[in-house]
């Protein structure tokens, strides 16, 4: 049985231009599955064959920088324990029922990104907190619904559609 390994554009680039920098398992996987990645490998090989010109060298360096600039972060729900006290609860005599806001938190494994989703009676707001000050634009994808949102200003929340279930959020 063959193991599946996630291959990125950078891995294919290194497979062609500098295989010694590629991990052995990825190199072996790309070698075995060369037919699956034939178009991507062919493009890199074409660039490698044309690297005699300075323009092509600048272009390939630019491509590698662009590949390295895109990072994908996965955030998972954070489980919190209820803060309600233990004891007897009595039903209120009031006919009116006050609606409370509801919130969920999501964080990555390194705790560099935190998303807080706050549901109120009228809207659902998403707040993104990060320790990465260099990035200003984020693309969020919710799973399993695959809803996508863009954040350009971290100082304000964005309004999102209410999701029934959110298993994870991907940030690019």
Q: Tell me the pLDDT of the chain (172 aa) as tens digits.
A: 456 777 888 888 888 888 888 888 889 989 998 998 898 888 888 877 765 666 666 776 777 666 655 677 888 888 755 555 555 555 555 555 555 668 889 988 878 889 999 998 889 999 998 887 667 788 899 988 888 999 888 888 999 988 888 888 988 8
What is the four-CA torsion angle of 112, 114, 160, 156, rounded to 10 degrees? -80
Q: What is the DSSP letter of 50?
A: T
> Cα separations (Å) of 19 from 13, 31, 66, 143, 172?
9, 11, 19, 34, 27
CA atoms within 13 A on the CB side of 116: 12
CB 128 within 8 Å of CB 113: yes
pTM above 0.75, yes or no: no
Cα–Cα nearest to 105, from 114, 95, 113: 114
Q: How many residues does the chain have?
A: 172
């Amino acid at each position: 049985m063959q193991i599946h390994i996630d291959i990125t554009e950078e891995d294919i680039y290194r497979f062609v231009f500098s295989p010694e920098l590629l991990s052995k398992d990825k190199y072996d996987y790309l070698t075995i599955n060369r037919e699956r990645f034939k178009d991507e490998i062919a493009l890199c090989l074409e660039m490698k064959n044309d690297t005699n010109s300075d323009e092509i060298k600048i272009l390939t360096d630019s491509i590698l920088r662009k590949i390295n600039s895109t990072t994908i972060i996965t955030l998972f729900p954070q489980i919190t324990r209820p803060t309600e006290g233990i004891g007897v609860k009595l039903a209120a005599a009031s006919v009116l029922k006050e609606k409370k806001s509801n919130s969920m938190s999501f964080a990555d494994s390194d705790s560099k990104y935190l998303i807080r989703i706050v549901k109120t009676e009228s809207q659902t707001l998403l707040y993104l907190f990060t320790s990465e000050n260099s990035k200003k634009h984020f693309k969020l994808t919710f799973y399993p619904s695959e809803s996508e949102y863009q954040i350009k200003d971290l100082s304000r929340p964005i309004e999102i559609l209410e999701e029934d279930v959110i298993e994870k959020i991907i940030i690019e």
